[in-house]
Amino acid sequence: MVSWNNLDTIKSYNDLEGIKHVNLVEAMSGESGAKRVKEYSVPMAAGLAYNYAAKEVDDDIINALDALAKETQLIEKFEALYNGEVINTGEKRMVLHQLTRGQLGNKVEADGVDKREFYVKEQKRIADFANKVHSGEIANAKGEKFTTVVQIGIGGSDLGPRAMYLALENWAHRTGNFKMEAKFISNVDPDDASAVLNSIDVAHSIFILVSKSGTTLETLTNESFVTDALKKAGLDQSKHMIAVTSETSPLAKSENYLEAFFMDDFIGGRYSSTSGVGGAVLSLAFGPDVFAQFLDGAAEEDKLSANADLKKNPAMLDALIGVYERNVLGYSSTAVLPYSQGLSRFPAHLQQLDMESNGKSVNRFGEPINYVTGPIIFGEPGTNGQHSFYQLLHQGTDIIPLQFIGFKNSQLQNDVDIQGSTSQQKLCANVAAQIVAFACGKTDDNLNKNFKGGRPSSIIVGDELNPKSLGALLAHFENKVMFQGFVWNINSFDQEGVQLGKVLAKRVLAHETEGALTEYAKLLNI
């Protein structure tokens, strides 16, 4: 029987607070550090590995975290989730994003429908559509092939799919899998839509409108921008636009769309990259086979996340170390630092994934809690970040845990050798150096040049960023966030915090305001 309890009532958590803290400078110096790097590593799917040698943990702390995992029933709660129990208590819904890439447990039904079959069916429909676009069977009014796909959506309908597209763009060019260029319109700021429309040939573009409800204000506003551009070009929207929406939305049966593909309420936007939300744009851009490889990597990582052995479950281990850093050590932020240009927008996706999921101050039953929850997430790709905010990370007054991501090989076939090393070797040398510099620091009598060290980090390492490793990477972080939500006894699958601003914005547009809201509306000439 699964029980849901606040973290501060958990015995193993209180025990954890009494365990001696690790001196990271000592632990990571000399032979001790070399031994940790070899031993503190957990295999992930698709050839990735999670290495936590430079975290402020030792065997005693890991054993205490294992006890916490067992007492909070993390594996049992994950089983309940993937077997279709109502885990999203705020909206009284199941949580089924893992089901888009594989079946971990029992058959899950809703309204008499096998949900795994539903997701597979939609993936097949998208694949068939993409293949017809690539072959020219589905073409523009003149019978010419579409060359560009543009996704119109906001939040999870943009951040995840955009990050995944950018991650695979170079790889697809190198491997011959690049089918169509993808662009994204998300911001309601008209400059966003106009910039994209000015950069494409609308006559050879196909647009994907993504809105589960079919009523998202920003998305429908941007649709109007695109519709206007199509009309001005003498083009018919219904021949250039498809919808990804729910079967009950006003978009589902509209004649304004060439085709409609369906998602459901059991997949939140920030968890939707492996659904039709990501599937349509990625299948059109790179082909259905590439999207299938992406799903395979995510499915493999999900299987590891169901393992009760903490040292064989990288997502759960990563999650618990994060809880230790947040609730015991008191660190309020985490920096995501991918040493891969392909992952340039991955930190932005993880920012939404983590902060929208676990930015909660009430438990899953709507009761106030007395401990901190989700950290602030930020980041940029290396080495750019080194020349930006690393100064604060190294010598600032706050200690900020770091999540590095690195690959042994680039996505290019041909690198250049400059001064005895390739560009990729220089990149990898930088990430190795940063981990040790953060952990061990440097003593100097000139305090301006003194580095205290003791700045914890972990790194996920792989051979290459490709569809399968990207899927595994995505699933790792989705499951990490899920496990942390379970530990904190919060609902990681609703997002009431985004609603109030939307409600007030509608009041401003309807001129139904008072007080400060009226004055700010005047200030902005509304």
Give the amino acid at 308: A
Give one DSSP letter per residue of 332-363, joined into a string: -EEEEEEE-GGGTTHHHHHHHHHHHHH--SB-
Q: What is the pLDDT of residue 29?
A: 97
Domain ranges of the chain: 7-96+292-492, 100-289, 499-525
pLDDT digits (tens, 9 = 90+) for 37-68: 999 999 999 999 999 999 999 999 999 999 99
Q: How far apart are CA 300 and CA 134, in angstroms?
A: 29
Phi, psi of 309 (to 5 degrees): -80, 110
Average pLDDT over residues 393-406: 98
Q: Is residue 140 classed as helix, strand or coil in its secondary structure?
A: coil
Query: 146: closest CA among 201, 225, 185, 102?
Result: 201
Find out if CATH 3.40.50.10490 is the number for domain 7-96+292-492: yes
Q: What is the pLDDT of residue 501?
A: 87
Q: Under a CB-based contact definition with an 8 Å cutoff, are residues 375 and 350 in contact?
A: no
Q: How far apart are CA 4 and CA 15, in angstroms?
A: 19
For residue 488, the 8-state DSSP code is H
Lowest mean pLDDT among 21-35, 171-185, 223-237, 409-423: 409-423
- At residue 293, does pLDDT exceed 80? yes
Q: How confident is residue 333, by pLDDT bands cut at 50, 70 and 90?
A: very high
Q: How confident is residue 512, by pLDDT bands cut at 50, 70 and 90?
A: very high
Q: CB under 8 Å to 139, separation ≥6 — which residues?
A: 133, 145, 146
Output the CA–CA distances (angstroms, integers) from residue 226 to 89, 222, 419, 445, in the order listed.
37, 6, 49, 62
Q: Residue with structure tokens 């702390």?
A: 61
Output the CA–CA distances (angstroms, integers) from residue 468 to 47, 269, 299, 361, in the order listed.
9, 21, 10, 35
Q: What is the pLDDT of residue 289?
A: 98
Q: Are both 7-96+292-492 and 100-289 of the same fold?
A: yes
What's the pTM value of the predicted model, to 2 decimals?
0.97
Q: What is the pLDDT of residue 520?
A: 95
Torsion angle of C-alpha atoms 402, 357, 163, 202, degrees rounded to 10: -150
Query: 116: closest CA among 285, 251, 269, 302?
Result: 302
218 C-beta neighbours (distance < 10 Å), count:
22
Q: What percent of the chain has pLDDT over 90?
A: 95
Q: How far apart are CA 477 and CA 318, in angstroms?
A: 9
Q: How far apart are CA 179 and CA 284, in angstroms?
A: 7
The CATH architecture annotation of domain 100-289 reads 3-Layer(aba) Sandwich (3.40)
Q: How confident is residue 253, by pLDDT bands cut at 50, 70 and 90?
A: confident
Q: What is the pLDDT of residue 71?
A: 98
User: What radius of gyration, in Å, describes the C-alpha atoms of the chain?
Assistant: 24
Q: Please give the helix or strand (H or E) that residue 178 lies within, else none.
A: none
Average pLDDT, the chain: 96
- At residue 413, does pLDDT exceed 80? no
Give one DSSP letter per residue of 67-102, joined into a string: HHHHHTTHHHHHHHHHTT---BTTTTB---GGGGT-
Q: Residue with structure tokens 């990207």?
A: 470
Average pLDDT over residues 260-266: 96
Q: What percent of the chain has pLDDT over 70?
A: 100
Mind telling me the catalytic residues? 356, 387, 502
Q: Residue with structure tokens 């809105």?
A: 211
Identify any residues that bridge with 151 across adjacent strands, giving them in sequence order: 184, 208
